[in-house]
Structure 1
Amino acid sequence: MTRPPFGPVSERDIRIVSIQLGRQARDVVGIPARCVCGAPTVVATAPRLSDGTPFPTFYYLTHPVATAAMSFLEAAQVMVECGELLAADPDVAAAYARAHVDYIADRESVAVVSELEGISAGGMPTRVKCLHALAAHALAAGPGANPIGDLALERSSWSPDVCRCPDYGVDVPDPADPADDETPDDETASRA
């Protein structure tokens, strides 16, 4: 299998994600989506956490403004609308089913965890359970990869193209300059 296209995780990334989450980031294996300022927006998390727990949510939304925007949409019953769309539009349902398969393939490119067989995230492939997970998948995999994630991002007050990051107190790398980020070592990635 081919690993999803994201680069290594730096110590700086882990510091920012920990600030975003309000707790120490754990088992981060990649940063598949970033804000235009370079701060992590989505992390890829190991399918089996270091404590042995299976973890199905491979793509995890961490950007605080993005997570608040998805929470707002959930409170506004957008998940109900999305569920109705899935039931009414066979093309959307088929694309959502493909997103489910692709999500599992991405996760399994890092590790296959038998307890997670057939499980993706966000309610895929037949229902809408978590816009945060679906938006994270859409951001990580790109437009068209997850129709419900795309819809949530379109309806959101947040955009990955406009930086609304708080001051993390950490030097954020320039996403256009790969040399501006630290080179992680194996120890850094494993203790995240």
Structure 2
Amino acid sequence: MSAAPDPSSVAQEDLDAVERQLGRVPRGVVEVSHRCPCGEPDVLRTLPRLPDGTPFPTSFYATCPRLTGAISTLESQGVMREMTERLAEDDDLARRYAAAHDDYLARRGELGQVDEIDGISAGGMPDRVKCLHVLVAHSLSVGEGVNPLGDEALAMLPDWWAAHPCTELAGDPEQ
């Protein structure tokens, strides 16, 4: 893992793109941790405590509407339930998923400690799958091989960027 990113180094054009994606000003951004193949930010790394003081365990936050929509489709198909069942049956998968939890906590810890969320990662880690958005964002940000279920979900996704860049969605009636 590398040194903690500097929040002041996030380019204003990236923050503007994310604001268009989310329909609101992004909070607590320390870096764009992954870019969509269209070139726009699609995952942010965020502070563990937002500027208003709120604890925020979601260190890797998916922002691209096409990406989050594709992940939501997977969630609606029961993928999380199936993954959680596999965790209870497959000791190796459970061990690797627990290691992903530890990785998530270590990376968040680089940005500061927040007592209220100490030991709590996100997405249901380490023993269940509660949010594929977090798992995919983690995999996109840190690379393949760290979060096995994030990697699996990412492999199931269609090419979300193929239609056109994510920032064009604001005026797209076919979102």
TM-score w.r.t. the length of structure 2 is 0.88
State the partner residue of 2:66: 65
Does the 8 Å contact 1:36/1:163 carry over to 2? no
| Separation in 1, partners of 2:19, 2:39 | 15
| Separation in 1, partners of 2:38, 2:69 | 19
Does the 8 Å contact 2:70/2:160 carry over to 1? no
| Separation in 2, partners of 1:4, 1:153 | 26
State the partner residue of 1:16: 17
- Once the two structures are TM-superposed, the CA of residue 40 in structure 1 deviates from its matched residue by 0.4
Does the 8 Å contact 2:100/2:146 carry over to 1? yes
Give the % identical residues: 49
Does the 8 Å contact 1:9/1:30 carry over to 2? yes
Give the gaps of 5 or more residues in structure 1. Answer: 170-192
- Once the two structures are TM-superposed, the CA of residue 86 in structure 1 deviates from its matched residue by 1.0
Question: In the TM superposition, what whole-angstrom CA distance separates every residue of 1:126-155 from its partner, at most 9, and x where no partner exists?
Answer: 000000011000100100110110111111
State the partner residue of 2:172: none
| Separation in 2, partners of 1:154, 1:19 | 26
State the partner residue of 1:49: 50
Does the 8 Å contact 2:17/2:167 carry over to 1? no
The number of equivalent residue pairs is 168
| Separation in 1, partners of 2:138, 2:108 | 11
Q: How does 1:95-134 map to 2 (within 5 A)?
A: 95-134=96-135
TM-score w.r.t. the length of structure 1 is 0.81
- Once the two structures are TM-superposed, the CA of residue 159 in structure 1 deviates from its matched residue by 5.5
| Separation in 1, partners of 2:35, 2:101 | 22
Q: Secondary structure at the match of 2:166?
A: coil
- Once the two structures are TM-superposed, the CA of residue 5 in structure 1 deviates from its matched residue by 7.3
Give the gaps of 5 or more residues in structure 2. Answer: 170-175
The 1:167–1:124 alpha-carbon spacing in structure 2 relative to 1, beyond 3 Å, is closer
| Separation in 1, partners of 2:85, 2:39 | 36
- Once the two structures are TM-superposed, the CA of residue 4 in structure 1 deviates from its matched residue by 5.7
Does the 8 Å contact 2:38/2:166 carry over to 1? no
Does the 8 Å contact 1:47/1:55 carry over to 2? yes
State the partner residue of 2:140: 139
Q: Please, what is the CA RMSD of the aligned residues? A: 2.1
